[in-house]
Copies of this chain bind each other. A is one copy, B any other.
């Protein structure tokens, strides 16, 4: 239903007779051309059509592209959900935001557990990944065993010493596996992905060398990374403050579950950061992707109430750049550099970030351990899937009968005669407009873009002179779906709203179209919601002169 031939919103259905299980229900961030939309989830039409057959939702791990669509799916069908304790804790938080937690049927499993759902017996297998408590699935069906790797790398030296469970993969492979589905994200990287431990030398050098404030940003779910930062802070006598809603939430969850150990009296309250000696402070901030309203983006333009940067501070981006976010991230980095802070990021060596996904040699290792009869590469764009399929060709002599590169909506049918492509099923994308994700929890509107005409759309068009940072002329507003009469007056007022948003922004913010789009959208949404009870799609178009 999602994630085949595209990154993000991973979700697939496995059906035997009249029984269906769902593996993962992810979301994705929209491409920039989907301005005005915050997140995208799969359209679960297939599951709605077969509602009486769907037994459960199984989650492999807690990343957004695997669990972000859970509230949307459960609002349609209240399925039992299975996942590890940490994964379900992250799901709980999302369900709570959507008032779905009370009736939810969440079932904690751990690696090594087996559960039976109709004709499926599912074993959860521990794998190493950039998030803790990730599992692969071995699903025994009447036709044979299906192995789904989830996301993984084969980290030989994980920081929590929980090794990748190669033995269980080997045991299934030895007994015979009907079908392997395996993560293709990094199939175009040669060799092995470095261990999570590889970032420690560089982080340690920064802790030992920096004389002023150390500001670090990573994905909030990177518990291993956060643990290394906390350990080093303790060792080098720095207190740690967390900034950003997701960072605060996830660290609290991980700490409560015993997955993140926070040394005694290490924590510093955000409001005390600027009062403490700079050499005694490390601040961990969310917002590695330059998301306009994230904590780090606001710190970068002196717009965060608890932290501003000073000459000699060091800012470390311990994360990768998700394709499509380059411009926003680079803008944020330039703002940081203008404040005289030193920047440390991905292309520098030794690394401050390593990937959580398996490279070519690890993928071959899994293929060789599992030796499946059929193989479907998953999690990647078409070129990744095609390359992963070609990696498996050497297994032809070891029993591999066929590989299938499937795109979202395509199916594979297996019976006693073999495997073949089946008919396509209805799939699609559902766009969700939820306000700024990181810090504003508004009521979330689930919106089907095919019904755009109902609430219409509003395009504020603002010309900003890049060098002066001033807007040129009055903002224009173009709209559809606001009828004559009252509509015209409202739009006239809306222009003034946009004008005020511009006035109340600093020249630096006005030069940063990402921030301005977000601010204009937020202010206009509030204004239009209040005066028209409508929620049009708002897509600010900024012309830089």
A residues with a Cβ closer than 8 A to B are 5, 31-34, 188-191, 323-324, 326-327, 330, 333-334, 336-338, 340, 342-343, 345, 347-349, 381-383, 385-387, 390, 408-409, 427-429, 431, 449-450, 452-453, 459, 463, 465-467, 472-473, 476, 478, 480, 513, 539, 541-545
Take A348-B188, A463-B449, A472-B450 as given contacts and tell me if A544 and B334 are in contact as well, using a CB distance cutoff of 8 Å: no
Output the nearest chain B residue to A465 by Cβ-Cβ distance.
B428
* Shortest CB distance A376–B (Å): 16
Q: Mostly helix, strand, loop or mixed at chain A's interface?
A: mixed
Q: Which residues of B contact A323 (CB under 8 A)?
A: 326-327, 330
Bound-state CA distance A241–B333 (Å) is: 43
- List 9 tightest A-B contacts by C-beta distance, closest first: A337-B383, A334-B382, A337-B386, A323-B326, A478-B478, A333-B383, A190-B349, A449-B545, A337-B382
A323 CA / B345 CA spacing, docked (Å)? 16
Q: List 19 A-B contacts (CB under 8 A).
A: A31-B544, A33-B543, A33-B544, A190-B348, A330-B381, A333-B383, A337-B387, A340-B386, A428-B465, A428-B467, A428-B545, A429-B544, A450-B463, A450-B545, A453-B473, A459-B478, A476-B480, A478-B478, A478-B480
**Contact at A326–B327, with CB atoms within 8 Å?**
no
User: How far is B542's CA from A543's CA once the two chains are assembled, in angstroms?
Assistant: 17
Inter-chain contacts of A340 with B (CB < 8 A)? 386
* Chain B residue at minimal CB-CB distance from A43: B467
> How many Å from the CB of A148 to the closest CB on chain B?
23
Q: Is the CB of B188 within 8 A of A544?
A: no
How far does the alpha carbon of A349 sit from the alpha carbon of B544 in the complex, in Å?
39
Separation of A429 and B468 alpha carbons in the complex (Å):
12
Q: How many copies does the complex hold?
A: 2
CB proximity of A381 to chain B, nearest CB, Å = 5
Closest partner residue, chain B, to A36 (CB atom): B543
Tell me the minimal C-beta distance from A308 to chain B in angstroms: 17
**Complexed CA–CA distance, A190 and B350 (Å):** 9
Question: Which residues of B sit under 8 angstroms from A476, Cβ to Cβ?
Answer: 480
Contact call A541/B539, Cβ cutoff below 8 A: yes
Residues of B within 8 A of A348 (CB): 188, 190
- A382, B327: Cβ atoms closer than 8 Å: no
In addition to A34-B543, A337-B382, A459-B459, 16 A-B residue pairs with Cβ atoms within 8 Å of each other are A31-B544, A188-B345, A190-B348, A191-B349, A326-B326, A334-B382, A336-B383, A338-B382, A343-B387, A408-B467, A409-B467, A428-B545, A429-B545, A450-B472, A459-B478, A478-B478
User: CA A336 – CA B539 in complex, angstroms?
Assistant: 32
When distances are taken between beta carbons in the complex, the residues of chain B under 8 Å from A190 are 348-349
> What's the nearest-Cβ distance from chain B to residue A330, in Å?
6
A463: chain B residues within 8 A (beta carbon): 449-450, 452
Tell me which of B189, B385, B386 contacts A347 (CB under 8 A): B189
The smallest C-beta distance from A513 to any residue of chain B, in angstroms, reads 6
Distance, CA A473 to CA B386, complexed state (A): 34
Chain B residue contacts of A336, Cβ below 8 A: 383
Shortest CB-to-CB span from A312 to chain B, Å, is: 11
Output the least CB separation between A483 and chain B (Å). 15
Q: State the CA gap A526–B261 with chains docked (Å).
A: 65
Are A334 and B5 in touch, CB under 8 angstroms? Answer: yes
- Verify A32–B32 contact, CB threshold 8 A: yes
C-alpha gap A476/B539 in the complex (Å): 15
Question: Among B326, B342, B467, which residue has its beta carbon within 8 angstroms of that of A427?
Answer: B467
